A = this chain, B = another copy of it.
Amino acid sequence: MDTHTFFFHLLLILIISRLLAELAARFHMPTVIGELAAGVLLGPSLLGWIEPTKTIQLLAEVGIILLLFKVGIETDIRRLINAGRQSLIVALGGFLMPLVSGFALGYWVFGLSGLVSLFIGGTLTATSIGITIRVLSDLNRQHEKEGEIVLGAAVIDDVMGVVLLAILYEFSVSGGVSVMNISKVMTFILLFFILAPVAAKLISVLIRRFDDYSSAPGLIPIMIISLVLFFAWLAHVVGAPELLGGFAAGLALSRRFFLPFGVALHSDRKFAGRIEVQMNPIVYIFSPIFFVTVGLSLSLREIDWSSPFIWTFALSFFFVAVLAKFAGAMLIQAHFLQRVAIGLAMVPRGEVGLIFAELGRSTGIFNVEVYAGMVIVITLTTLLSPFALKWFYAHHCEHLKNPGGDCEPNSPVI
């Protein structure tokens, strides 16, 4: 790609996503819808001006790890741990229900093979952590109780998704699965989750000290981005999703992070504030690229819209996809409305679902029709649930708000 073409594509991505996001806000829609719509508009689905090239995809990946970094830095780790048990239930329920019901619907109702049905079930387990968190943040609900449960559940869901993807891939290639490998990966991921924030915190203390001696400006953004990239890379090395590295680094740098040994480390609020001020513009530039790229990747033009089978197929799985995530949320003990909100927030499949569907297509397990059906399911869950969640909060805010909470959403945070 020529430099000027790249500049022009980047320009279109930034400016159109911003315009549509502002427009969405004017019509009281979640702004993330504007960014996803920009991708659908500019991409192969409609205008075909921009292909999701390798460079754009890599920038989008930087966008999602930086977004998770920002989510991490704003998270109160104690409250996240407190919500842990309920998050685990929501994640497990919202993982097993779609897997089982997706498989059942594919195998018994549509008469697909076991492997195809398994991949469909896998595609339906996905939760788009980026879109879920962004919608809650657009609604200013990310620090409420259900926001914390959803954040924890989305993180756990992402780990389970990666493990399942590895299992399905191994199974489709070799026909069998090594329990040894899986438990090794699970152990590594668990260790990563316990050790990474501690290590990131220690490194950040070094950066803090080094900052006083540095002879050139720009130390903070460069070192923090390096830290985020390092933990994203490390997450991949241990077998975890890269974006969880960004989340771990963010958690470590949050104002409310505490180390079991070393109380002195957690009180440097001024430094944490400087990190946020300097990192925010970088996050604002990269994160829309991620949401636009999700929109770019939805190749809606390839779908034969006139086929009745596609519609029956897609709508059946869409209902299963929504109901199964709700079923997961219903397993916890909370106010009914909170459980509905959590269920709605877990619905968007987004980029994680697309990765499953893409693996299904590239390995030849999904034929054109099944793939098209899955793309429709992913599109519907991704685009409809932000609307549903916003509508739900607007109509049930009085029953959901915490003491001191505000019913009118403030300006969104991310």
How many A residues touch the partner, as a band?
35 or more
Q: Which of B14, B62, B214 contacts A226 (CB 8 A)?
A: B14
Do the beta carbons of A215 and B411 come within 8 Å of each other? Answer: yes
Bound: A308/B223 CA distance, A? 44
Bound: A62/B225 CA distance, A? 17
Do the beta carbons of B55 and A225 come within 8 Å of each other? Answer: no
Do the beta carbons of B14 and A225 come within 8 Å of each other? Answer: yes
From A5, which residue of chain B is reached at the shortest CB distance? B233
Q: Is the interface of A mostly helix, strand, loop or mixed?
A: helix
Q: Which of B216, B281, B411 contacts A278 (CB 8 A)?
A: B281
CB distance from A196 to the nearest CB of B (A): 15
Which B residues lie within 8 Å of A236 (CB)?
3-4, 7
Q: Which of B1, B223, B237 contacts A4 (CB 8 A)?
A: B237
CB distance from A80 to the nearest CB of B (A): 24
CB distance from A75 to the nearest CB of B (A): 18
Per-residue B-contact encoding for A274-300, CB less than 8 Å = 1, 0 else = 000111111111001000000000000
Do the beta carbons of B217 and A4 come within 8 Å of each other? Answer: no
Known: A232-B4, A281-B221. A216 touches B21 (CB 8 A): yes
Q: What would 20 A/B residue contacts be, using CB atoms closer than 8 Å?
A: A1-B58, A3-B57, A3-B236, A4-B237, A7-B62, A7-B229, A7-B233, A8-B233, A15-B223, A25-B215, A31-B216, A54-B55, A55-B58, A215-B411, A216-B411, A216-B412, A217-B280, A221-B281, A221-B285, A222-B288
